[in-house]
Amino acid sequence: MHDILKKPFRLYNTIQHYKWGSTLPDAFIPQLLGIDGEKNTNYAELWIGSHPNAPSKIKIEDDLVSLNDLIHRFPDLILGKYVADRFNNKLPFLFKVLSAAEALSIQAHPSKGQAELLHKTDPQHYPDTNHKPEIAIALDSLTALAGFATYYQCHKTVLRYPEITGFLGRDALSDLFPLRKLSRKQQSEKLRQMYQTFIHLTQTKPGLYQRSVNALAKRLRSQQIRRSSRENLFLDTLKKYGSSDVGLFSLFLLRMIRLKAGEAIAITPGIPHAYVQGNIIECMANSDNVVRAGLTKKFQDTRTLMTILDYTPNPVQIIKPIQSENEYNYPVFTSEFKISRLELASGSQILNTTNQLEIFLIINGFGILSWDYNENKEKISKGQSYIVPGILDNYTITSRSPMTIFRVQIP
């Protein structure tokens, strides 16, 4: 078995058909994979990894084997001994392609300690004990809501929309926005107070909330001036989820970020966020722990949400990778993964694994994958993904056309 495993393996991955995913003819994932796709089917995510909900498979001697099972049987050979020891014989990350045609739910992820406690008290909704730091890298573009806007931007927003002002109430507003300068710490505290007041009112005065939401929608639809993208998002999500959804007014309190191709954002524990539209590479710790805060019909846990949110203003910044020859490295911010983008114009590139597992995905182009000092070779092309076991210390990619490859390693 040692010799059989000493090679890169092509991965056979699962497509997730969530309702917010893109559809034909614009569906990105079928185009990437070179498949026809089906009409009226949403192509939302491609999962690459060993998550138990949708583990990738590899072919060994004509049999498809779950990557989970393979790692369980041969952790030192597949992960590499150092990684196997560090992460309890488990692959520590999940790699995805995500294609959003409409907004995902507003959500936040717990820290490691919070995840352990949530799993203990509510394993149905928090299925594992891991945290979920993640990075989103735009393949073409990405519009996202990520983190709270600044205190002063929120004040300006509240004043701009009298329906939100009326919902919060005059007394609350005078307390939240006093006529004095506040320190950065005080601004964060006021943002926390404002959001918690807002959530509390949606629970205790649902009728008032729905009337306020409907009043804003009516005014926006009737106004003569052009609506902003945020206002259009509000109207679109109202139509989909109804006026009781807690996320509708939250849309106006979060920062809207637009990424160009190659740019990224990092989402750390407690950051409220929602990917709105675009095609991205996403990598995260191998977890499915999500605390939802609106724009969804799924389970929402507002009590937990209040305890884990990070109220720091503008906490999410646009990341641009650091170039080193033909590899563009995104900053490492977690112990579970690091990710880079290879741009291969022509010729051969030897890639060293340091005897730790890595996974790569080809976004564009085609070429030759070789190993064992070029003794073994196979053709590779757009849409294919491969796992390189830790037992293999290097491999070579020879491009036959310009190639773009995303490579995930463990730091």
Same domain (yes/no): 59, 77: yes
Name the nearest CA neighbour of 255 among 160, 331, 143, 166.
Answer: 143
Check if the beta carbon of residue 140 is closer than 8 Å to that of residue 261: yes
pLDDT value of residue 153: 94
**Which of the following is catalytic: 170, 180, 255, 292?**
292
Q: Are residues 92 and 171 in the same domain?
A: no
The answer to whether position 198 is within a domain reads yes
What is the number of domains present in the chain? 3
Residue 323 lies in a domain: no
What is the C-alpha separation between 243 and 213, in angstroms, rounded? 6
306 in any annotated domain: no
Domain endpoint, select from 297, 319, 351: 297
Q: Got the DSSP string for 25-90?
A: TS-HHHHHHT----TT--B-EEEES--TTS--EEEETTEEEEHHHHHHH-HHHHH-HHHHHHTTTS
Q: Determine the average pLDDT of the residues in 270-284.
A: 97
Amino acid 43: pLDDT: 98
305 assigned to some structural domain: no
The domain that holds 286 is classified in CATH as: 2.60.120.10
**Looking at the structure, do residues 368 and 352 belong to the same domain, yes or no?**
yes
Question: 112 and 39 share a domain?
Answer: yes
Last residue in a domain, options 268, 297, 326: 297
Are residues 228 and 216 in contact, defined by beta-carbon separation less than 8 angstroms? no
With tokens 């722990």, the residue in question is 289
Domain presence at residue 355 = yes
Rounded Cα gap, residues 48 and 15, in angstroms:
9
One domain, residues 14 and 74: yes
For residues 157 and 212, membership in a common domain is answered with yes
Signed CA dihedral, 217, 219, 222, 223: sign only: negative
Specify if 159 maps to a domain. yes
pLDDT range class, residue 1, cuts 50, 70, 90: low
Indicate whether 27 and 138 sit together in one domain: yes
Residue 221: CB atoms within 10 Å: 10
- Assess whether 246 and 262 both reside in one domain: no
- The model's pLDDT over 288-324, given as tens digits with 9 standing for 90+, comes to 889 998 999 888 988 898 889 999 988 899 999 999 9
pLDDT of residue 179: 84
Is 307 domain-assigned? Answer: no
Alpha carbon separation from 304 to 125, 260, 267, 315 (Å, rounded): 11, 33, 18, 20
pLDDT tens digits, residue range 67-84? 999 999 999 999 999 999
pLDDT at position 232:
96
Range of the domain at 45: 9-147+257-297
Q: What is the pLDDT of residues 226-249, one digit of tens each?
A: 999 999 999 999 999 999 999 999
pLDDT at 254: 96
Cβ–Cβ < 8 Å for 332, 286: no
Q: Once rounded to an integer, what is the mean pLDDT over residues 381-388?
A: 98
Q: Which of 44, 128, 55 is nearest to 91 (CA)?
A: 55
Is the confidence at residue 2, as pLDDT, over 80? Answer: no
Q: Cβ distance 109 to 133 under 8 Å?
A: yes
Q: Give pLDDT, residue 219.
A: 97
Q: Is residue 17 a part of any domain in this protein? A: yes
Q: Are residues 182 and 240 both part of a single domain?
A: yes
My answer on whether 246 and 179 are in the same domain is yes
292 is a catalytic site residue: yes
User: Do 181 and 69 reside in the same domain of the chain?
Assistant: no
Question: If pLDDT is split at 50, 70 and 90, which confidence band does 127 have?
Answer: confident
Q: Tell me the pLDDT tens digit for each residue of 333-378.
A: 999 999 999 999 988 999 999 999 999 999 999 999 999 988 899 9
Based on the fold, state whether residues 275 and 139 are members of the same structural domain.
Answer: yes
Q: pLDDT tens across 56-115, in order?
A: 999 988 889 999 999 999 999 999 999 999 999 999 999 999 999 999 999 999 999 999
pLDDT tens for 173-228 read 999 999 889 999 999 999 999 999 999 999 999 999 999 999 999 999 999 899 99
* Biggest alpha carbon–alpha carbon distance for the chain: 76
